[in-house]
Amino acid sequence: MICVIDYGMGNLRSVSKAIETMGGRTFLGRHPRDLKRADKIVLPGVGEFGHAMQALSKQKLIEPLQEILLSGEKPFLGICLGLQLLFESSEENRKVPGLKIFKGSVQRFPKKKIGLKVPQMGWNQVRFLRSSPFIRKVPNQSYFYFVHSFYATPHEQSLDLGITEYGVRFASVIEKEPIFAVQFHPEKSQAAGLKILKNFVAY
Protein backbone atom coordinates (compact mmCIF):
# COMPACT_ATOMS: atom_id res chain seq x y z
CA MET A 1 0.00 0.00 0.00
CA ILE A 2 1.17 3.51 -0.88
CA CYS A 3 0.45 6.27 1.63
CA VAL A 4 -0.25 9.66 0.03
CA ILE A 5 0.30 12.12 2.86
CA ASP A 6 -2.72 14.36 3.40
CA TYR A 7 -1.55 17.56 5.10
CA GLY A 8 -3.71 20.01 3.18
CA MET A 9 -1.03 21.02 0.67
CA GLY A 10 -1.48 18.89 -2.42
CA ASN A 11 -3.74 17.77 -5.25
CA LEU A 12 -4.31 14.46 -3.51
CA ARG A 13 -7.07 13.11 -5.71
CA SER A 14 -5.13 13.57 -8.95
CA VAL A 15 -1.95 12.07 -7.49
CA SER A 16 -3.76 9.08 -5.99
CA LYS A 17 -5.77 8.42 -9.14
CA ALA A 18 -2.67 8.56 -11.35
CA ILE A 19 -0.81 6.11 -9.09
CA GLU A 20 -3.79 3.75 -9.08
CA THR A 21 -3.99 3.96 -12.88
CA MET A 22 -0.41 2.68 -12.90
CA GLY A 23 -1.28 -0.30 -10.72
CA GLY A 24 -0.64 1.06 -7.21
CA ARG A 25 -2.99 0.86 -4.25
CA THR A 26 -3.18 4.10 -2.29
CA PHE A 27 -4.65 5.50 0.88
CA LEU A 28 -4.55 8.99 2.40
CA GLY A 29 -2.39 9.27 5.50
CA ARG A 30 -2.83 11.89 8.20
CA HIS A 31 -1.22 10.26 11.23
CA PRO A 32 2.17 8.75 12.16
CA ARG A 33 0.58 5.29 12.29
CA ASP A 34 -0.34 5.66 8.61
CA LEU A 35 3.34 6.07 7.70
CA LYS A 36 4.23 2.96 9.68
CA ARG A 37 1.71 0.70 7.94
CA ALA A 38 2.56 1.93 4.45
CA ASP A 39 4.86 0.07 2.07
CA LYS A 40 5.74 3.30 0.25
CA ILE A 41 5.14 6.98 0.90
CA VAL A 42 4.27 9.90 -1.39
CA LEU A 43 4.55 13.53 -0.25
CA PRO A 44 2.76 15.79 -2.75
CA GLY A 45 2.64 19.52 -2.31
CA VAL A 46 1.29 22.77 -3.70
CA GLY A 47 1.68 25.92 -1.65
CA GLU A 48 4.06 27.73 0.70
CA PHE A 49 7.10 26.07 2.29
CA GLY A 50 6.52 27.37 5.83
CA HIS A 51 2.82 26.53 5.86
CA ALA A 52 3.61 23.01 4.67
CA MET A 53 6.12 22.39 7.46
CA GLN A 54 3.70 23.82 10.02
CA ALA A 55 0.96 21.51 8.74
CA LEU A 56 3.26 18.48 9.01
CA SER A 57 4.22 19.56 12.51
CA LYS A 58 0.59 19.98 13.58
CA GLN A 59 -0.12 16.41 12.47
CA LYS A 60 3.01 15.17 14.28
CA LEU A 61 4.42 13.81 11.02
CA ILE A 62 7.84 15.46 10.95
CA GLU A 63 9.79 13.12 13.25
CA PRO A 64 8.33 9.84 11.94
CA LEU A 65 8.86 11.02 8.36
CA GLN A 66 12.47 12.00 9.10
CA GLU A 67 13.07 8.64 10.75
CA ILE A 68 11.77 6.70 7.75
CA LEU A 69 13.65 8.82 5.21
CA LEU A 70 16.99 8.84 7.04
CA SER A 71 16.85 5.08 7.64
CA GLY A 72 16.02 4.29 4.00
CA GLU A 73 13.32 2.04 5.36
CA LYS A 74 10.71 2.64 2.65
CA PRO A 75 10.57 3.98 -0.90
CA PHE A 76 9.54 7.64 -0.93
CA LEU A 77 8.39 10.01 -3.66
CA GLY A 78 8.26 13.79 -3.19
CA ILE A 79 6.32 15.86 -5.73
CA CYS A 80 6.86 19.61 -6.34
CA LEU A 81 6.80 21.19 -2.86
CA GLY A 82 7.35 17.64 -1.59
CA LEU A 83 10.83 17.79 -3.17
CA GLN A 84 11.65 21.19 -1.69
CA LEU A 85 10.68 20.15 1.85
CA LEU A 86 13.48 17.56 1.85
CA PHE A 87 16.07 20.34 2.17
CA GLU A 88 17.23 22.50 5.07
CA SER A 89 15.60 25.82 4.28
CA SER A 90 13.82 27.94 1.70
CA GLU A 91 13.94 31.60 0.69
CA GLU A 92 10.15 31.44 0.73
CA ASN A 93 10.17 31.32 4.54
CA ARG A 94 13.59 31.48 6.21
CA LYS A 95 12.13 31.20 9.71
CA VAL A 96 10.84 27.66 9.22
CA PRO A 97 13.35 24.82 8.62
CA GLY A 98 12.68 21.99 6.22
CA LEU A 99 12.90 18.27 6.88
CA LYS A 100 16.72 18.44 6.60
CA ILE A 101 17.01 15.09 4.86
CA PHE A 102 19.49 16.59 2.41
CA LYS A 103 21.88 19.51 2.76
CA GLY A 104 20.96 22.44 0.56
CA SER A 105 18.38 25.17 0.24
CA VAL A 106 15.50 26.27 -1.93
CA GLN A 107 15.91 29.45 -3.98
CA ARG A 108 13.52 31.73 -5.86
CA PHE A 109 13.92 32.07 -9.60
CA PRO A 110 15.83 35.29 -10.37
CA LYS A 111 13.41 38.15 -11.05
CA LYS A 112 15.96 40.14 -13.02
CA LYS A 113 16.24 37.59 -15.83
CA ILE A 114 14.79 39.29 -18.93
CA GLY A 115 11.72 37.49 -20.21
CA LEU A 116 11.62 35.01 -17.34
CA LYS A 117 8.08 34.58 -16.08
CA VAL A 118 7.75 33.50 -12.47
CA PRO A 119 6.26 31.10 -11.61
CA GLN A 120 7.41 28.70 -14.28
CA MET A 121 4.10 27.31 -15.46
CA GLY A 122 3.90 24.83 -18.30
CA TRP A 123 5.93 22.20 -20.11
CA ASN A 124 9.71 21.97 -19.93
CA GLN A 125 12.35 19.36 -20.66
CA VAL A 126 14.28 17.23 -18.21
CA ARG A 127 17.74 15.95 -19.08
CA PHE A 128 18.61 12.78 -17.22
CA LEU A 129 22.20 12.48 -16.03
CA ARG A 130 22.37 8.73 -15.46
CA SER A 131 20.25 5.62 -15.55
CA SER A 132 17.93 4.68 -12.70
CA PRO A 133 14.99 2.34 -12.13
CA PHE A 134 12.96 5.46 -11.35
CA ILE A 135 13.25 6.73 -14.95
CA ARG A 136 13.36 3.35 -16.69
CA LYS A 137 12.02 3.58 -20.26
CA VAL A 138 11.39 7.33 -19.95
CA PRO A 139 13.06 9.02 -22.95
CA ASN A 140 15.76 11.54 -22.13
CA GLN A 141 14.76 15.16 -22.74
CA SER A 142 11.10 14.28 -22.11
CA TYR A 143 8.74 17.14 -21.34
CA PHE A 144 6.99 17.41 -17.97
CA TYR A 145 4.52 19.88 -16.49
CA PHE A 146 5.91 22.41 -13.99
CA VAL A 147 4.24 24.97 -11.71
CA HIS A 148 6.72 26.59 -9.30
CA SER A 149 8.54 29.78 -8.31
CA PHE A 150 11.32 28.09 -6.31
CA TYR A 151 13.90 25.39 -7.02
CA ALA A 152 16.18 23.24 -4.87
CA THR A 153 19.96 23.63 -4.79
CA PRO A 154 21.42 20.43 -3.33
CA HIS A 155 24.90 20.64 -1.83
CA GLU A 156 25.59 17.13 -3.13
CA GLN A 157 25.54 17.04 -6.92
CA SER A 158 25.24 13.26 -6.70
CA LEU A 159 21.57 13.82 -5.80
CA ASP A 160 20.86 15.27 -9.25
CA LEU A 161 19.20 12.67 -11.46
CA GLY A 162 17.57 15.12 -13.87
CA ILE A 163 18.15 18.81 -14.61
CA THR A 164 16.07 21.50 -16.28
CA GLU A 165 16.85 24.96 -17.65
CA TYR A 166 14.64 27.92 -16.76
CA GLY A 167 16.73 31.05 -16.43
CA VAL A 168 19.03 28.88 -14.33
CA ARG A 169 19.90 25.21 -14.40
CA PHE A 170 18.27 23.37 -11.51
CA ALA A 171 17.73 19.85 -10.21
CA SER A 172 14.27 18.77 -11.36
CA VAL A 173 14.70 15.12 -10.33
CA ILE A 174 16.67 13.99 -7.30
CA GLU A 175 17.51 10.48 -6.16
CA LYS A 176 19.16 8.81 -3.25
CA GLU A 177 17.60 5.38 -3.25
CA PRO A 178 15.02 4.68 -2.00
CA ILE A 179 14.25 8.42 -1.93
CA PHE A 180 13.05 9.98 -5.18
CA ALA A 181 11.61 13.44 -5.79
CA VAL A 182 10.52 15.52 -8.77
CA GLN A 183 9.93 19.26 -9.12
CA PHE A 184 7.32 18.75 -11.84
CA HIS A 185 3.89 17.16 -11.53
CA PRO A 186 4.03 13.61 -12.93
CA GLU A 187 0.25 13.25 -12.51
CA LYS A 188 -0.18 16.11 -15.03
CA SER A 189 2.64 15.10 -17.37
CA GLN A 190 0.86 12.60 -19.61
CA ALA A 191 2.74 9.49 -20.75
CA ALA A 192 6.20 10.39 -19.40
CA GLY A 193 4.85 11.34 -15.98
CA LEU A 194 2.68 8.26 -15.72
CA LYS A 195 5.64 6.08 -16.63
CA ILE A 196 7.63 7.58 -13.75
CA LEU A 197 4.75 6.81 -11.39
CA LYS A 198 4.59 3.27 -12.76
CA ASN A 199 8.32 2.87 -12.10
CA PHE A 200 7.79 4.04 -8.51
CA VAL A 201 4.93 1.59 -8.04
CA ALA A 202 7.13 -1.23 -9.36
CA TYR A 203 10.22 -0.21 -7.36
pLDDT of residue 58: 97
Q: Is the pLDDT of residue 113 over 80?
A: no
d(CA 13, CA 116): 31
Q: Which residues are catalytic?
A: 80, 185, 187
Tell me the CATH number at 121.
3.40.50.880
Whether the predicted pLDDT of 57 surpasses 90: yes
- Band of residue 134 on the pLDDT scale cut at 50, 70, 90: very high
pLDDT at 91 over 80: yes
When the pLDDT of each residue in the chain is averaged and rounded to a whole number, the result is 96
Per-residue pLDDT tens digits for 38-49: 999 999 998 999
What is the model's pLDDT at position 114? 67
pLDDT of 146:
98
Q: Which residues pair with 146 in a beta bridge?
A: 122
Domain count, the chain: 1
Residue 18 is part of which domain span?
2-202
Is residue 175 over pLDDT 70? yes
Global pTM value = 0.96
Query: Buried (b) or exposed (e) across 84-97, using 16+ Cβ within 10 A?
Result: bbbbebbebbeebe
Distances (CA, A) of 122 to 15, 20, 125, 146, 189: 18, 24, 10, 5, 10
Query: By mean pLDDT, which of 45-49, 152-156, 172-176 is the weakest?
Result: 45-49
Q: At residue 76, does pLDDT exceed 90? A: yes
- Strands across the sheet with 142-148, in order? 26-29, 2-5, 40-43, 76-79, 179-182, 168-176, 160-166, 120-128, 142-148
Is the pLDDT at 147 greater than 70? The verdict is: yes
Q: How much is the pLDDT for 203? A: 97
